Chain A
Amino acid sequence: MFLLSSSVVIAQNEKPEEDYFKRGLLKASATISPGKMLQNKANSIYISGFLEYALNDRYSLRGDVFQFVDASYSDASLLEPLFMNRLYFGAFRHFGKKNLKFYLGAQHGMTFMQYYHSYNQGNKFSVAPSFSLKVGTTFYIWKYFHFFADVTYVNSATRGLVFGAQRMDELIFSAGLGFHLNTIKNYRFIGTPSF
């Protein structure tokens, strides 16, 4: 009887779950992201990060960076980057209730790459326009932390190679712990004081 009444009291004292994803939420994270180069036939590794700002409880603006670390190439790999950085910025739509959200978004971006061109020309640097599509999920566990997992399709091509152009489309997987902060304080109206 005592246990039952205690649990009822505890249940009554529990605060309703707060929705963390709302206007003003600033999110960021960094993680290690494996990738799969679709045409260049290689498995890549990136260090990735993002910064995201929620415009309201459905839309956000987000920037992503992918810094290429290395890759395991196959016999079909035609291009081995010496340096590669992918930068993106775009808008995201978030779905779901409470603190489990699903999101998808599109981003514009650039791929900066240095690669070995030929004996005559040595290493060359390429700046390639690019875009990405991302789908993923986030679970907000507390007012400062969330877990996330997503997959990014990256579309880009490196031009000017000795054999023409090489498509460098890629699927990049990211997951891990993210951090967030609500930048807009919620003021609660408690009524006009009367004298």
Chain B
Amino acid sequence: MKLIYCILTTFSLTASIAQSGMISLGGRTTVSLFNDGGTDNLGTGLGGQFRLQFADRVNSDWFFDYLTSDIGTVGNRTDYHIGWSVLFYPYLNDKRSILLKPFFLAGHCFDYTRFESNFNPANFDERWSSAVQGGIGTHLNLTQKLDLTMLAQYMIHLGNHIHAEADGQNLIITESHGASLEGHVLLTFGINYKIGELW
């Protein structure tokens, strides 16, 4: 414990405990690990978010992500996510200095996905869906106002099912009847800056 305390004080971070009403703004890079829909390739994305902290233990994260990934060598997939998550901080240190601030999160998301052939842009399909997500993460407080955030979450989509797979040089896109679930793991690395306090 003494070692941890020494590390925290060495970094001389001053993240205030009372942060209710705080608004932050930031950017994020996301890696998407798809495990369905024939798009097992890694997707990469850019996004942004703002945070409004409701209470000392409860924060909210309002985000937008733009992600791209490959479907073999014959197609590509683009995802747009817009949503929100609520963050819960299980540990509130009573010291005024803290380096790491872990959290659990859960939230909702709306998204648009487009599958497209690399050879024939007329061969495409798209869908709108809704999603829920949950995960864990931590803030790394660099200064009183600046933090890095790392989080891992699983997002599960509810919508019509589109399956895209490579067949030789062709992209076969099939749409199933009825709704289905499709999920993916998102790893996000963000940088945030606290711009003010609402209350």
The answer, among A56, A58, A129, A159, for a CB contact under 8 Å with B46, is A129
Please determine whether A162 and B119 come into contact, CB atoms closer than 8 angstroms: yes
Measured CB to CB, the nearest residue on chain B to A60 is: B146
* Residue contact B76 to A159, C-beta cutoff 8 Å: yes
Q: Flag B123-152 by CB within 8 Å of A: 1 or 0 each.
A: 000000000000000000011011010000
B113 interface residue per 8 A CB criterion:
no
What size tier do the contact residues of chain A reach?
20 to 34
Answer yes or no: B68 CB below 8 A from chain A CBs.
Answer: yes
- Among A59, A109, A131, A164, the residue within 8 A (CB) of B73 is A164
With A90-B191, A160-B118, A164-B118 known to touch, is A108 a contact of B73 (CB < 8 Å)? no
Residue of B nearest to A118 (CB): B119
Q: Inside 8 A of A160's CB, which chain B residues have their CB?
A: 76, 116, 118
Using CB atoms, name the residue of chain A closest to B43: A129
Scan residues 69-99 of chain A and give those whose CB is less than 8 A from a CB of chain B.
89-91, 93
B85 adjacent to chain A (CB < 8 Å): no
Q: How large is the interface on B (under 10, 10 to 19, 20 to 34, 35 or more residues)?
A: 20 to 34
Expressed in whole angstroms, the Cα–Cα distance for A161 and B75 within the complex equals: 8
Residue among A90, A162, A163, A164 making CB contact with B27, cutoff 8 Å: A90
A91 touches B146 (CB 8 A): yes
Q: Give the shortest distance, in Å, between B97 (CB) and chain A (any CB).
A: 15
B170 interface residue (CB < 8 Å to A) = no
Q: A55-B143, A61-B193, A165-B76 are in contact. Are A110 and B70 (CB under 8 A)?
A: no
Q: How far is the CA of A157 from the CA of B45 in the complex (A)?
A: 11
Residues of B within 8 A of A177 (CB): none
Q: How many A-B residue pairs have CB under 8 A?
A: 67
Q: Are B46 and A109 in contact (CB under 8 A)?
A: yes
Chain A 113-156, CB-CB to B under 8 Å as 1, else 0, gives 00000100100000111110000000000000000000000010
A59/B143 contact (C-beta < 8 A), A91-B148, A129-B45, A164-B73 known? yes
Q: Please give, as numbers and ranges, the residues of chain B lying within 8 Å of A47 by CB-CB distance.
A: none
Contact (Cβ within 8 A) A164 B45: no
- Contact at A108–B44, with CB atoms within 8 Å? no
Q: Which residues of A lie under 8 Å from residue B28 when comparing CB positions?
A: 108
Q: Which residues of A contact B178 (CB under 8 A)?
A: none
Q: List 12 A-B contacts (CB under 8 A).
A: A56-B143, A59-B146, A61-B193, A90-B27, A91-B148, A91-B191, A110-B46, A121-B121, A131-B46, A155-B44, A157-B44, A165-B76
Question: CB within 8 Å of B: which residues of A?
Answer: 55-56, 58-59, 61, 89-91, 93, 106, 108-110, 118, 121, 127-131, 155, 157, 159-165
